[in-house]
Amino acid sequence: MAALTTTVVDLSQESARDLNSALHKASPGTSWHVTHPGGAHNLAVGLTTGLDVVIDGPAGYYCAGMNQRATVTVHGNAGTGVAENMMSGTVRVRGSASQSAGATAHGGLLVIDGDASARCGISMKGVDIVVGGDVGHMSAFMGQAGRLVVCGDAGDALGDSLYEARVYVRGKVKSLGADCVEKEMRAEHVAELAGLLKSADRDDDPSAFRRYGSARELYHFRVDNSSSY
Amino acid sequence: MCGIAGLQVRDPSLEPRLGELLTGMLHQAAERGPDSAGVALYGDARLTPPGHSAVSLLAPGDASAAEIAALVGGDTAAVTVSQSVVVHSPSLPVADLERALRGAFPTAVVTGRGTDLAVLKGVGHPDVLAEEFGLRAATGRQGIAHTRMATESAVTPEGAHPFSVDENVCLVHNGSFANHATVRRELRAEGIAFDSENDSEVGARFVAAQLAAGHDLEKALRLLCERFDGFYTLLVTTGDTFAVVRDAIACKPAVVAETDAWVAMASEYRYFAHLPGIESARIFEPEPEEVYTWQR
């Protein structure tokens, strides 16, 4: 049942620690509205229950880090490491995100309506990330699982040292990283991508995207290379 | 960590508000560098009347501003601001003013020189220093601010940024140069003297050497990318140029925001949040090893 009331936390009056402490004690299903965030770091971090948290303004580093089950929406830009190590739930940034968005995240959905900068989805381990704009260099670096969808362009070295994360890009890719290759966009991928775009409330045409993945040349040891060690 | 904030004003109607806007940016940067801080102000008439040659130095301690001005002689005037003194003259060229000052105070640590350029820096919390600088009341066409969390050398006034080692040029750095000792040795062998053991000063001296060799600022920063190892986000200014460059990995943060009225660079977006027109600003994070310049 949807919460009937929303608790307002004014960060011009209370600290990020006060906010997080209150959120950690909150009952599942409750709604929270955070005002005057002023780009403070570590907002709504370590949530474990199905809360709905709206941050009304810019957030600093590690916003919604380690999130489980909660829905966190930032009405502004987010700093480094938004939703880093997220396990489940949804994090949405209405503006743009700085470096390492969704780093090492295991699950859940991260949506960034604007751009994400360098290393978006670095070492992603199962999270789904949908970026409405562009991503910076070395995005999906060492991505192990999950899907990264880029509706704009990708910077240098996309998918460098990629394991099994899947990457979809609509725009231009400046360059591919080591062991990242373009792959055929089969019907199952179009369907998968359509689902991801829908979950991010986007209406982009899935057939306009290209798919990238690991050539799997790098992460299996090749005996021919043994003399290099 | 260190914090960087810079603002170049393009709309003259904002010039009276330079200090107020920069104070807000510096305050946000304080968390990234509580050890020491500094600012460079281009065209703050309180400290440097328009068109005057100006030399900034660390306050020698036992001499008042009036005594310093009297010892330098001629038509010079001086003002003490926190841990710095700014000496200026309407008639002496910048180099002559610096020479006269060094003659009168052989042990002076000169922290800046240029046309209506003041460099103020010191050890202490950035918010406290901003108060001591009277930064909120500053005016001008361009200003940069830096908050330092020391890693490569001690927390001293000499080690605080900005580093201004060439006429009108100021450099602030977030990061650490890995090969600064090697480059310092090379520059010393060419006869270049240093004021501190700080790695960032080596970057500033290197840029000054490239400018002296006839390169423009953009080329000087490209050469810095080729020569220096390590991590760096740099903001470098001259009298009318505002330049940003990051290392090949771009691990140290940098955000640029630009409107028709101003261009600003910061370590974090929140430093911009109070700037007029930020809602419609063009905002981006600089690409690695790309030199960005804005000309006023």
Catalytic residue (choose from B2, B170, B225, B251): B2
Q: Is B70 on the interface with A (CB under 8 A)?
A: no
For residue A38, give the nearest of B253, B273, B285 by CB distance: B273
- Cβ atoms of A147 and A168 closer than 8 Å: yes
Cα dihedral across residues B43, B48, B53, B54: positive or negative: negative
B67-102 pLDDT, tens per residue?
Answer: 999 999 889 999 999 999 999 999 999 999 999 999
For residue A96, give the nearest of B268, B283, B287 by CB distance: B283
For range A84-88, the mean pLDDT: 98
Which residues are A91's β-sheet partners? Answer: A72, A110
Q: What is the separation, in whole angstroms, between the first and last Cα of chain B?
A: 29
> What pLDDT, on the 0 to 100 scale, is given for residue A162?
96
Q: Is B78 on the interface with A (CB under 8 A)?
A: no
The helix/strand/coil state of A160 is coil
Q: Is A38 on the interface with B (CB under 8 A)?
A: yes
For residue A77, give the nearest of B28, B250, B269 by CB distance: B269
Residues of B in contact with A118 (CB under 8 A): 250, 285, 288
Query: pTM above 0.90?
Result: yes
ipTM of the complex: 0.89
A26-82 pLDDT, tens per residue?
Answer: 999 999 999 999 999 999 999 999 999 999 999 999 999 999 999 999 999 999 999
Phi, psi of A111 (to 5 degrees): -115, 130
Residue of B nearest to A80 (CA): B253
Q: Is B253 on the interface with A (CB under 8 A)?
A: yes
B228-240 pLDDT, tens per residue?
Answer: 999 999 999 999 9
Q: Is A82 on the interface with B (CB under 8 A)?
A: no
Name the CA dihedral angle for B26, B230, A83, A200, rounded to a multiple of 10 degrees. 100
> Annotated catalytic, B2?
yes
A129-178 pLDDT, tens per residue?
Answer: 999 999 999 999 999 999 999 999 999 999 999 999 999 999 999 999 99
Residues of A in contact with B269 (CB under 8 A): 39, 58, 77, 79, 98
Residues of A in contact with B280 (CB under 8 A): none
> What pLDDT, on the 0 to 100 scale, is given for residue B54?
98
Residues of B in contact with A57 (CB under 8 A): 273
Binary contact (A136, B269; C-beta < 8 A): no
Residues of chain B above pLDDT 70, percent: 100
Which residues are B289's β-sheet partners? Answer: none
